[in-house]
């Protein structure tokens, strides 16, 4: 009994101490009770499973230490602490560890495997056959879980973290309470209403090409200290009369492509998504009726999605047909020689799109997600001086792709529209760090088979505005199904 008491004290005190190590720095300890109940549930479950008091104690502390470390690393690189939806990337980590390992310090990389193996051996070796500690763990988990349930039912769900404010809530309440509360509120967020396809008001829709360009940003905005030359096509189009351009206010920095992609394809702003905003593709199945390809199915018989990388990310391989895409072009359409660095080059992708534009006999809707400028960056990747130079060389290739598409649409002989934007800024630790400014460039240009294309109208500030812009561009009347 004494050992059990001391192990509980160690777990609670250690976990509270670790909470104060979290970035952003905790400035107010509002919910110590909620944190304690959560850590005791974890401790009780481990003790019930293993039956060893000290193994349960140190395993619980180790698990929470890992959570805090991961959250701090994420905050340093992406400017955002850990959120419950990040668990969904576990499978991606196993498939493509290079996406994530670059953010982990060398010492931790060296320790990861020995710690995992050692912990597994330790837990198996010290497993207890005595039933009493297993029972004690079950009781601790049950009582703490009952405490959580009662607290949530009678207080927390009415007064705690009613609106998403991830960084502020972690700073105010700590990591564990925020993970727990956000998960429950995410589970209780209602799905949007089903939406019927739209009937176009005009006879024919323009050939529509939407390009979501990986880590595409204005060098002057993210690396002013380097004095990189402007991206020539981006600069040319910005100065061209009749072209819409500006800064797209995306929610993520250095990652979270799916947030930008979801906003453009589903038209739901972060305010509308609520607690679903952190990984909207987890619940995208509830919203496929309002996906852009479905909404424009009456205007485009051919609705194409192009992405030269693994389509299992965000469950795209399952969602894309349900979203209304009639054709999906994935990595199988490209050869190893098409790679620039680790990924398929943007110029190769631009040539594929241009060939399709020139050969098409009728307008199509094409949505493209590029891959070339995905991190991590290093000098060896492009034989450049450093990571920032590597990013810039890839950005120049993206700019050449933009020029390729602009020329193809200018000469296609059809009414057309190009929407081109960056999904997020790159995160290059110690060089390009997260800050208040997260905007990426966007370009919108119309092309006409006549001499002068019709003027562009509308307002674009965030990804969901592109969705509405496209609907307005086509012109529609809502079919109420009467």
> Does 206 have pLDDT greater than 70?
yes
Q: Of the candidates 460, 355, 385, 416, which has an alpha carbon nearest to the alpha carbon of residue 223?
A: 385
3-state SS, residue 226: helix
pLDDT of the residue at 226: 87
Does residue 30 surpass a pLDDT of 90? no
| pLDDT for the residue 478 | 43
Q: At residue 31, does pLDDT exceed 70?
A: no
Phi, psi values for residue 367, rounded to 5°: -115, 125
Question: What is the C-alpha separation between 308 and 310, in angstroms, rounded?
Answer: 7
Note the pLDDT of residue 237.
Answer: 97
- What Å distances lie between residue 116 and 46, 71, 108, 110, 123, CA to CA? 16, 19, 12, 11, 11
| pLDDT reported for residue 482 | 31
Share of the chain above pLDDT 70, in %: 89
Residue 343's pLDDT is: 95
Q: CA of 52: how far to CAs of 4, 55, 123, 262, in Å?
A: 10, 5, 9, 46
Q: 20 or 236: which carries more pLDDT confidence?
A: 236
Q: Dihedral sign, CA of 312, 316, 320, 326?
A: negative
The predicted model gives 23-36 an average pLDDT of: 78
Is residue 103 helix, strand or coil?
Answer: coil
When mean pLDDT is compared across 96-100, 235-239, 399-403, the lowest value belongs to 96-100
Q: pLDDT category, 481, cuts 50, 70, 90?
A: very low
Residue 279 pLDDT: 94
Looking at residue 390, what is its pLDDT? Answer: 95
Q: Residues 426-440: what's their mean pLDDT?
A: 89
- pLDDT for the residue 98: 61
- The mean pLDDT value for 251-275 works out to 93
What's the pLDDT score for residue 99? Answer: 60
Q: Is 59 exposed, middle or buried (0-12, 13-18, 19+ CB in 10 A)?
A: buried
Give the per-residue pLDDT at 259: 95
* pLDDT confidence band for 401 (50 / 70 / 90): very high
Report the pLDDT averaged over residues 63-78.
Answer: 91
* pLDDT at site 479: 41
Neighbouring residues of 219: CB distance < 8 A, sequence distance ≥ 6:
226, 228, 229, 230, 231, 392, 395
What is the DSSP code (8-state) at residue 56?
A: H
Q: Does 174 score more than 80 pLDDT?
A: yes
pLDDT band at 111 (very low <50, low <70, confident <90, very high): low
Which one has a higher pLDDT value, 419 or 1? 419
Tokens of 471: 């609907």
Give the pLDDT score at 28: 61
Average pLDDT value for residue range 340-364: 95
Average pLDDT of the chain?
A: 88
Residue-wise pLDDT for 304-348, tens only, equals 999 999 999 889 999 999 999 999 999 999 998 999 999 999 999
Domain ranges of the chain: 2-187, 198-478
What percent of the chain is modeled with pLDDT above 90? 64
Q: What pTM was estimated for this model as a whole?
A: 0.90
Partnered with residue 369 across adjacent β-strands are 212
Section 459-482 average pLDDT: 78
Homologous superfamily (CATH) for 198-478? Alkaline Phosphatase, subunit A (3.40.720.10)
Average pLDDT over residues 160-171: 93
Q: How big is the CA angle at 312 (ends 70 and 207), to the nearest 5 degrees? A: 120
Task: Please state the rounded mean pLDDT for residues 365-382.
Answer: 92
Report the length, in residues, of the chain.
482
Nearest to 427 by CA among 47, 20, 103: 103
Per-residue tokens: 77: 């690189």
Decide which of 481 and 224 is more confident: 224
Q: What is the pLDDT of residue 200?
A: 65
Query: Higher-confidence residue: 398 or 435?
Result: 398
């Amino acid at each position: 009994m004494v050992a059990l008491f001391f192990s509980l004290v160690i777990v609670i005190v250690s976990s509270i101490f670790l909470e104060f190590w979290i970035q952003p720095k905790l400035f107010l300890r509002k919910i110590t009770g909620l944190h304690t109940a959560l850590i005791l549930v974890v401790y009780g479950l481990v003790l019930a499973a293993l039956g060893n008091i000290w193994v349960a104690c140190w395993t619980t502390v180790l698990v929470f230490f890992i959570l805090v470390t991961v959250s701090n690393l994420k905050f340093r690189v992406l400017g955002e602490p850990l959120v419950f939806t990040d668990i969904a990337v576990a499978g991606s980590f196993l498939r493509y560890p290079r996406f994530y390992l670059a953010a982990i310090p060398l010492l931790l990389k060296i320790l990861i495997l020995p710690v995992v193996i050692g912990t597994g051996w330790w837990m198996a070796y010290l497993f207890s056959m005595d039933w009493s500690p297993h029972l004690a763990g079950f009781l601790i988990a049950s009582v703490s879980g009952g405490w959580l349930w009662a607290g949530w039912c009678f207080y927390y769900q009415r007064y705690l973290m009613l609106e998403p404010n991830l960084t502020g809530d972690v700073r105010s309440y700590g990591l564990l309470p925020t993970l727990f509360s956000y998960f429950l509120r995410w589970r209780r967020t209602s799905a949007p209403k089903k939406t019927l396809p739209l009937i176009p008001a005009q006879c024919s829709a323009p050939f529509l090409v939407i390009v979501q360009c990986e880590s595409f940003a204005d060098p002057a905005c993210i690396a002013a200290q380097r004095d990189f030359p402007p991206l020539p096509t981006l600069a040319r189009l910005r100065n061209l009369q009749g072209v819409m351009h500006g800064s797209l206010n995306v929610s993520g920095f250095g990652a979270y492509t799916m947030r930008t992609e979801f906003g453009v394809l589903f038209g739901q702003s972060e305010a509308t998504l609520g607690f679903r905003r952190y990984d909207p593709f987890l619940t995208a199945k509830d919203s496929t009726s309002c996906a852009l390809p479905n909404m424009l199915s009456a205007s485009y018989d051919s609705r194409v999605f192009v992405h030269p990388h693994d389509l299992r990310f965000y469950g795209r391989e399952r969602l894309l047909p349900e979203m209304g895409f009639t054709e999906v072009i994935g990595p199988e359409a490209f050869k190893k020689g098409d790679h620039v660095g680790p990924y398929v080059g943007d110029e190769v992708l631009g040539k594929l799109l241009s060939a399709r534009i020139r050969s098409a006999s009728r307008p199509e809707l094409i949505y493209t997600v590029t891959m070339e400028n995905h991190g991590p960056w290093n000098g060896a990747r492009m034989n450049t001086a450093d990571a920032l130079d590597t990013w810039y060389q890839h950005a120049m290739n993206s700019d050449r792709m933009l020029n390729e598409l602009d020329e193809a649409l200018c000469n296609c002989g059809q009414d057309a529209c190009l929407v081109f934007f960056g999904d997020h800024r790159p995160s290059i630790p110690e060089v390009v760090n997260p800050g208040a400014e997260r905007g990426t460039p966007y370009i919108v240009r119309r092309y006409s088979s006549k001499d002068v294309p019709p003027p562009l109208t509308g307002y674009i500030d965030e990804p969901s505005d592109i969705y509405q812009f496209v609907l307005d561009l086509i012109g529609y009347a809502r079919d109420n199904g009467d």
